[in-house]
Amino acid sequence: MALARGRQFLAIPGPTNIPLRILKALDRPAMDFTTPEFAAVAEEVQHGLRRIFKTEHDIFIWASTGHGAWEAAVANFYAAGEKVLICETGSFSEWWLEMAKLFELDAEYLPGDWRQGIDPAKLEERLRADKTHEIKGIGVVHNETSTGLTNDLAAIRKAIDAAGHPALLMVDTISSLASMDFRMDEWGCDVVVGGSQKGLMQHAGLGLLGVSAKAVQRTDMSDRPRRYWDIRRSLQAPIHMRNPGTAPAHFFYGLKEAIDFLEEETLDGVFDRHAKLAGAVRAAITEWAKGGQIDFYVKNEARRSNSVTAVEMVGGGSSDKFRFGCRDDFNVMLGGGLLSLADKVFRIGHLGDLNAPMVWGILAAIEATMKRQGIAYGPGGVEAAIAYLAD
Ligand code: PLP
């Protein structure tokens, strides 16, 4: 309809808005990636990413999506038949588990409640039971993008330490990195998976992998076939030559700009902005939920994510009909439900290059769509979001 004009408001949980200054940084001719000029940029990006991961260790960068970094995480550190424990959180934990199985690891799923998040006590119990330390790796999705839930990594680390377990801690930070607090070294994360298209505000196409010294020691124990993902070869190369094949050089210029942009705001400032915007989204949903037809999918209030919120159609409506209506009527694109949540939840992405009026606009479009589609909602959601940020 006539109102669906102008620039689309992208309210999916990634890819996120790409700021103009990053688009401009990408706008350059092809270059020889063996030059000292590119080497200097690659070095800067490596050190900038380490500041964002909060690590002193290496970050490997591939031209891939986050799936590539997931694959690198399962291909580099384990032999066939070795046990890894993946903690159930939602669709993304399911897919990581599936990938570990495809690589012939003995992948065990630690059952978990998608609405509550990982229970560190249950993890500790499972690890204490593993007296012979059969489990070599533990996989945790920091921010489960399919449900909008952030797991407590500090508590998870504490649980692993309390059990005295030496397994590698593998963490997926794809939808938390550069939008909420993450501390690779302090939280003892050994293998950290990231991507370019969320908090780092790039287009999709980079897989990132932070690797601790403890994880590097396991690379020779892996017997999994790997060429593209093999970090042993990369470790021998100078930083700008670490990519197998041609370096995706443009991306490095985009990343360098993103790192500068984030550091100008300060990482704490970025996290604080995300927390505030998420608070406004939650304030609106809290009011709307009083109408009885939509509600938060995540019931553990303390674990509701600052980068994405999943809203459940508790009244039984179709979340796809809802979000396509929102797109067609108001040009606001919401995320859909994944796997068992398909057509049951819509997801509001509130991460990346985003400010208060953008969030208010997204929330106003959601409220207007509920009105158009006859979904009963408690009044005052948008006002609550305005008050939340204005006060
Ligand atoms: N893990 C999480 C938590 C994600 O949110 C995503 C993508 O949204 C992925 C993994 C997969 O990343 P990609 O889509 O870049 O392959």
pLDDT in tens, 261-285: 999 999 999 999 999 999 999 999 9
The pLDDT of residue 3 is 85
Q: Residue 1 — pLDDT band, cuts 50, 70, 90? A: low
Instruction: Write the pLDDT tens digit of every residue in 311-331.
Output: 999 999 999 999 999 999 999
Instruction: Write the pLDDT tens digit of every residue in 223-260.
Output: 999 999 999 999 999 999 998 899 999 999 999 999 99
Whether residue 203 has its Cβ less than 6 Å from ligand 1 = no
Instruction: Write the pLDDT tens digit of every residue in 146-169.
Output: 999 999 999 999 999 999 999 999
Minimum CA distance residue for ligand 1 atom 14: 66
Percent of the chain whose pLDDT exceeds 70: 99
3-state secondary structure of 62: strand
Does 209 score more than 80 pLDDT?
A: yes
| Higher pLDDT, residue 2 or 36 | 36
Does 351 score more than 80 pLDDT?
A: yes
The Cα-based distances of 272 to 7, 64, 341 in angstroms read: 26, 30, 29
Q: Kindly report the number of other CB atoms within 10 A of residue 138's CB atom.
A: 24
- Which positions ≥6 away from 90 have C-beta within 8 Å? 114, 141, 144, 145, 146, 147, 149, 338, 339, 341
The pLDDT of residue 229 is 96
The pLDDT of residue 5 is 86
Give the helix ranges, DSSP H, for the chain. 20-26, 36-53, 66-75, 91-102, 120-129, 153-162, 213-216, 231-236, 249-265, 267-288, 319-330, 356-373, 381-390
Cα of 374 from ligand 1 centre, angstroms: 33
3-state secondary structure 299-339: CCHHHECCCEEEEECCCCCCHHHHHHHHHHHHCEEEECCCH
Q: Residue 35 — pLDDT band, cuts 50, 70, 90? A: very high
Whether residue 299 has its Cβ less than 6 Å from ligand 1 = no
Average pLDDT, the chain: 97
What single letter denotes the amino acid at residue 233?
R
Judged on CB neighbours under 10 Å (0-12, 13-18, 19+), 238 is: exposed
The Cα-based distances of 358 to 328, 352, 362, 385, 386 in angstroms read: 18, 12, 6, 12, 12
Whether residue 254 has its Cβ less than 6 Å from ligand 1 = no
Q: Which atom of ligand 1 is nearest to the CA of 204?
A: 15
Whether residue 193 has its Cβ less than 6 Å from ligand 1 = no
- Rounded to the nearest 10 degrees, how much is the dihedral formed by the CA atoms of 294, 299, 305, 308? -30
Whether residue 145 has its Cβ less than 6 Å from ligand 1 = yes
Does 139 score more than 70 pLDDT?
A: yes
Query: Residue range 332-339: average pLDDT?
Result: 98
Cα of 143 from ligand 1 centre, angstroms: 10
Predicted TM-score (pTM) above 0.85? yes
The Cα-based distances of 312 to 22, 65, 305, 364, 383 in angstroms read: 34, 28, 15, 18, 21
Query: Residue range 130-141: average pLDDT?
Result: 98
The pLDDT of residue 272 is 98
The pLDDT of residue 46 is 98
Does 180 score more than 70 pLDDT?
A: yes
Instruction: Write the pLDDT tens digit of every residue in 38-81.
Output: 999 999 999 999 999 999 999 999 999 999 999 999 999 999 99
Give which of 197, 249, 189 is closest to 45, Cα–Cα. Answer: 249
Whether residue 195 has its Cβ less than 6 Å from ligand 1 = yes
Whether residue 150 has its Cβ less than 6 Å from ligand 1 = no
The pLDDT of residue 391 is 87
Find where tokens 């939650």 sit.
282
Strand order in the sheet with 206-211: 58-63, 206-211, 191-195, 168-172, 135-141, 83-87, 106-110
Of the listed ranges 196-200, 237-241, 372-376, 385-389, the one predicted with least confidence: 237-241
Query: Residue range 186-215: average pLDDT?
Result: 98
Q: Residue 33 — pLDDT band, cuts 50, 70, 90? A: very high
Cα of 88 from ligand 1 centre, angstroms: 15
Positive/negative CA dihedral, 90, 95, 98, 103: negative
Whether residue 92 has its Cβ less than 6 Å from ligand 1 = yes
Cα of 174 from ligand 1 centre, angstroms: 6
Does 2 score more than 90 pLDDT?
A: no
Q: Residue 4 — pLDDT band, cuts 50, 70, 90? A: confident
> What residues does 168 pair with on adjacent strands?
137
SS3 content of the chain, % helix, strand, coil (to 5): 45, 15, 40
Query: Residue range 92-96: average pLDDT?
Result: 98
Cα of 251 from ligand 1 centre, angstroms: 18
